[in-house]
Structure 1
């Protein structure tokens, strides 16, 4: 299996009456949110609802949302910051409970091309994702073409990405089958939510989207990255280098939880212990006492996530 579809024929059209809700999670990034909402307002295919989960922002985010008058906006504002995972849990729950046929998940740092939603809605598939590029137009889609939870010797389970496999959008086939996604342009039908449940809020940030994709695939759903559904990412990918900071704790903990939940053999499920041991052993060279604290805490807490 190559992981992608090579046929040139455009997929069949879904029923015209399908409704779609956009779910956006934001926290203290009012300027990015403003641009993102402007992108939604410019969509050629009008969404039926835009559900914004404002994670108790303390900047100008409430003012930005109050000024919106060109979108079917709903705002959910929890009393505290629930992280991206908790925010998507609430937003997807609201969309499901209101009966929308499809739900399209977004972060506040992406802007869709005007035809992006229409391109996705034209694909008669249960799970889809838009394909990201940066502000220069370079392909930056990191969804995994291969996510290996079978080989215990692979430190990183993501062994091939859309961007590394194809290099450019033009080199992609119309649809590429992927094994995980980001909650930046992922779309699913309500039947998927009914089958696998809501995003897991316990992840807080990072890997909640990977967890959701793995659950969907294990339930028999395939996930397709749609080449012509363009999503422009406004920020660089730089969070993966913060392993000694507070985000590093969640990166390690949630990576370990994914291995424990979905590892296909005992050796893979035990891999978090090997990673933790390697971090501790290399600490004198890397100067990473803070990273060691993160990985030890993450190893302990991942067990509580099941």
Structure 2
């Protein structure tokens, strides 16, 4: 069994060092650590060059989605059977991989239970997506504290913070949507995985610590909102029912136009709507 741990990084050298230390400390051996460096300028290139046990791919900053695309492809092309994916702002606890490996199967995606900075479980995974009802949003049910009593929790919407899967997943559904840049690339990928017959689970005893607080993307308008709006609409267009494809994008358009406070923001919303509505997948 060959396992590759893949990490995406961009200008977070001090956090990256902690992620790599966490990987090196695993009780279950990792055959190769692969780091995709999205054009970092903070000394990451030099530090990675000093670490001979890391296979490095350096590219321009194509966002976390483009980084995951490259990392998935690199691990697959290098012949690894199992792939363990994460960003540079998480640290797996020493027995995290051991617990994941104890629950793997070729038709399953397994992921750790994540913990916040305050030491409490990070309740942000999607248990089930809504791809049929146009009058409700895409997140049908999120993980709740009462779900944590189970050792194995079915969850369709795993994030790219620690999922482990067999290379056959890539063979069947392809690679992440690199054009997403940021936001919801993991949701879109897991929807594809479910449609292809893969089941997905959170393993409660496999734990991973987040090193940053989750940003409140709805707090104020920023350049990230373009990708949030476009990508959610693109998921509806790619995977939603007939009514979801034709109705819900307009609901998102109206909702975000109400949040936009100036002409520039409104133009961003309209562009995101158009680009999402006519999005074409590379897969």
**Residues 1-306 of structure 1: pairs in structure 2 closer than 5 A:** 18-68=1-51, 72-78=53-59, 80-125=60-105, 126-154=108-136, 156-162=137-143, 165-166=144-145, 171-241=148-218, 244-280=221-257, 282-283=258-259, 287-306=261-280
Q: CA deviation at 1:287?
A: 2.7
**CA distance change for structure 1 residues 192 and 290 in 2, over 3 Å: closer, same or farther?**
same
In 2, distance between residues paired with 1:37 and 1:293?
A: 41
Report how far residue 274 of structure 1 moved: 1.9
Number of corresponding residues: 278
Native 8 Å contact 1:205 1:250 kept in 2: yes
Q: CA deviation at 1:143?
A: 1.4
Structure 2-normalised TM-score? Answer: 0.93
Following superposition, the deviation at residue 305 of structure 1 comes to 2.0
Instruction: Give me the whole-angstrom Cα distance separating, in 2, the residues matched to 1:242 and 1:28.
Output: 24
SS at the partner of 2:217?
helix
TM norm structure 1: 0.86
CA contact (8 A) 1:252 1:294 kept: no
- TM-superposed deviation, 1:268: 4.6
In 2, Cα distance between equivalents of 1:161 and 1:234: 22
Structure 2 unaligned regions, length at least 5: none
1:279 to 1:94, Cα distance in 2 relative to 1, 3 A: closer
Q: Given that residues 131 and 227 in structure 1 are in contact (C-alpha distance below 8 angstroms), is that contact kept between their aligned partners in structure 2?
A: yes
Structure 1: 5+ residue stretches without partners: 1-17
Distance in 1 (CA, whole Å) between partners of 2:152 and 2:16 is: 29
Q: CA deviation at 1:304?
A: 3.8
CA RMSD, Structure 1 to Structure 2 (Å): 1.7
